[in-house]
């Protein structure tokens, strides 16, 4: 046996060539700094966009959810019909009996799982201006509610208090201002005990709400609440919509609450067997889910759009690899003459391409998270690093190198060693 045919473990070979190919890739990136960096930055920009988008979207999503469904405890929400449901005749739905305080009282007396109940009158977009001495608010919503509303939506009071049951029963002209109108009317003064005007009626300010620091901004702060009895007396309008909010006692499951409320509501509304419900129950959980799925869709669309940037990076890597393969034709010939198999050559260029885009990916991940954190600070929402997306971003950008590097690498691997060796 000749000295050249020493036994070699083929598994060993793989490792050696792989290491060499990776070392080679780093070497090439080092020697072609300019061109490599341009590509890396190109891919990085793509990844940054996608990742910043995803991070902001998921953070924003959580925040929007918690802002819209702002309650510490899950709650039920009864309206006359499904606010999101289409398909039914709107006029027919609007003819349904309003929900009333009698329904609330009936539930209060009979519902074992209900903790607190609130009747709310939604002015359906009708806006009003609040005035105090020379100051006035923008157009804001004034809603009617029971004393339980504050508790139900975990409204935090900055000054004063929420109005009481007593005040509701007596239809007192008391008002709780949202953060927006409170700032507008009482920039530097204590608002408590002051009398503001809505139209010709005067209301005593008993409390103001704390800022919610919401992404929805002023929308969720620009409103005021008065007792629903007072509302009916002063501001009532025939198109107002009545809704009932209920929190469920902690010892009950949300579903149990839904079932009980459903049965009691049918009784309260005196629906016979076989008659369809003339009310609709939503839960905060269902609402959250629905919001979540809408946000996921929006996010997905944004990701798809921003991935187009990554495709451009892919074409860039293909171009650079084609140049690289042509430039190194002779090297390919030499390697083949020295014993590189076609797959070894293929692997070499694929690793090079994947290293380039993978490096771009890592830079992009870094910049993307930085961007996301900046945006998060700016509009104050919880900045969460989605680990899975970091992994996806890296794998995806490396795969772009592999996919777009395939054609150039294959071209190198299929070279005729003799021609390659004599390439000028």
Partner 1 sequence: MLIKVRDVKKIYEVGIQKIEAVAGIDLEIDRNEYVAIMGPSGSGKSTFMNLLGCLDTPSAGDYWLNGKEVSNLSDDELARIRNREIGFVFQTFNLLPRATAAQNVELPLIYGGISADERRDRAAEVLESVGLTDRAKHRPNELSGGQRQRVAIARAMVNRPSIILADEPTGNLDSKTGIEIMSLFDTIHAAGNTIVMVTHEEHIADYAKRVIRLLDGKIEEDIRTD
Binding site for partner 1 (CB under 8 A): 2-6, 8-10, 12-17, 19-20, 27-28, 31, 330-331, 333-344, 417-418, 421
In angstroms, the CA 37 to CA 39 distance is: 5
Angle in degrees, CA 40, 44, 50, rounded to 5: 155
Q: For 328-333, which contacts have Cβ atoms below 8 Å and span 24 or more sequence positions?
A: 328/412, 329/415, 329/420, 329/423, 330/420, 330/421, 330/423, 332/412, 332/415, 332/417, 332/420, 333/415, 333/417, 333/418, 333/419, 333/420, 333/421, 333/422, 333/423
**Min. distance of Cβ 322 from partner 1 in angstroms?**
19
Least spacing, CB of residue 36 vs partner 1, in Å: 14
Q: Quote the least distance from Cβ 412 to partner 1, whole Å.
A: 14
Q: Considering beta carbons, is residue 230 or 329 the nearer one to partner 1?
A: 329
Q: How deeply is 179 buried, as exposed, middle or buried, from its count of CB atoms within 10 A (0-12, 13-18, 19+)?
A: buried
Nearer residue to partner 1 within complex by CB, 22 or 37: 22
359/420 with CB nearer partner 1: 420
CA distance 397 to 78: 48
* CA 8/CA 11 separation, integer angstroms: 9
- Between 99 and 340, name the residue whose CB sits nearer to partner 1: 340
Helix (H, G, I), strand (E, B) or coil at 244: strand
Q: How far is the CB of 422 from partner 1 (least distance, A)?
A: 9
Q: How far is the CB of 299 from partner 1 (least distance, A)?
A: 44
Element (H, E) at 22: helix 10-31
Q: Which is nearer to partner 1, 23 or 95 (CB)?
A: 23
CB 8, min distance to partner 1, A: 5
The b/e string for 30-39 (b: 16+ C-beta within 10 A; e otherwise) is: eebeebbbeb
Helix (H) or strand (E) holding 115: strand 114-122
Beta-ladder partners of 207: 160, 176
CB of 30 to partner 1, least distance (A): 9
- Which residue number, 47 or 345, has a Cβ lying nearer to partner 1? 345
Is the Cβ of residue 36 or residue 48 nearer to partner 1 in the bound state?
A: 36
The bridge status of strand 201-209 relative to strand 157-160 is antiparallel
Distance CA 72, CA 42 (A): 45
Looking at beta carbons only, is 5 or 188 nearer to partner 1?
5
Greatest pairwise CA separation for the chain in angstroms: 112
- Point out which residues pair with 241 in neighbouring strands: 122
Closest contact distance (angstroms) between CB of 32 and partner 1 is 10
State which residue, 113 or 355, has the beta carbon closest to partner 1: 355
To partner 1, the closest distance from the beta carbon of 351 in angstroms equals 14
Distance CA 64, CA 291 (A): 8
């Amino acid at each position: 046996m000749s000295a050249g045919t020493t036994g070699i473990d083929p598994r060993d070979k793989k490792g050696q060539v792989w290491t060499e190919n990776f070392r080679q890739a780093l070497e090439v990136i080092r020697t072609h700094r300019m061109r490599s960096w341009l590509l890396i930055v190109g891919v990085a920009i793509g990844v940054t966009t996608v990742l910043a988008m995803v991070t902001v979207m998921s953070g924003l999503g959580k925040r929007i959810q918690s802002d819209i469904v702002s309650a510490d405890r899950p709650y039920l929400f009864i309206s006359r019909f499904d606010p999101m449901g289409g398909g039914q005749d709107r006029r027919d739905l609007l003819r349904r009996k309003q929900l009333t305080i009698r329904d609330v009282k009936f539930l209060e007396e009979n519902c074992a799982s209900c903790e607190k109940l609130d009747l709310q009158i939604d002015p359906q977009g009708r806006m009003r201006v609040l005035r105090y001495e020379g100051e006035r608010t923008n157009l804001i919503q004034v809603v009617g509610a029971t004393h339980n509303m504050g508790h139900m939506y975990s409204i935090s009071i900055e000054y004063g208090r929420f109005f009481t049951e007593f005040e509701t029963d007596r239809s007192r002209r008391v008002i709780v201002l949202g953060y927006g109108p409170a700032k507008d009317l009482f920039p530097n003064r204590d608002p408590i005990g002051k009398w503001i005007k809505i139209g010709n009626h005067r209301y005593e300010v008993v409390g103001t709400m704390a800022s919610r620091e919401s992404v929805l901004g002023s929308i969720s702060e620009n409103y005021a609440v008065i007792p629903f009895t007072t509302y009916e007396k002063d501001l009532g309008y025939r198109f107002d919509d009545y809704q009932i909010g209920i929190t469920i006692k902690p010892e009950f499951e949300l579903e149990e609450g839904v079932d009980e409320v459903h049965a009691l509501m049918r009784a309260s509304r005196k629906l016979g067997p076989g008659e369809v419900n003339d009310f609709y129950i939503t839960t905060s959980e269902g609402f959250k889910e629905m919001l979540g799925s809408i946000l996921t869709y929006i996010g997905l669309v944004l990701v798809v759009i921003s991935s187009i940037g990554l495709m451009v990076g892919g074409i860039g890597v293909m171009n650079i690899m084609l140049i690289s393969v042509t430039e190194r034709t002779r090297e390919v010939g030499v390697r083949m003459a020295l014993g590189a198999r076609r797959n070894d050559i293929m692997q070499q260029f694929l690793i090079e391409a994947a290293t380039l885009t993978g490096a771009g990916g890592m830079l992009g991940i870094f910049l993307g998270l930085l961007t996301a954190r900046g945006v998060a600070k700016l509009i104050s929402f919880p900045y969460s690093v989605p680990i899975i997306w970091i992994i996806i971003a890296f794998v995806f950008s490396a795969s772009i190198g592999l996919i777009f590097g395939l054609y150039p690498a294959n071209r190198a691997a299929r070279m005729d060693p003799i021609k390659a060796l004599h390439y000028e």
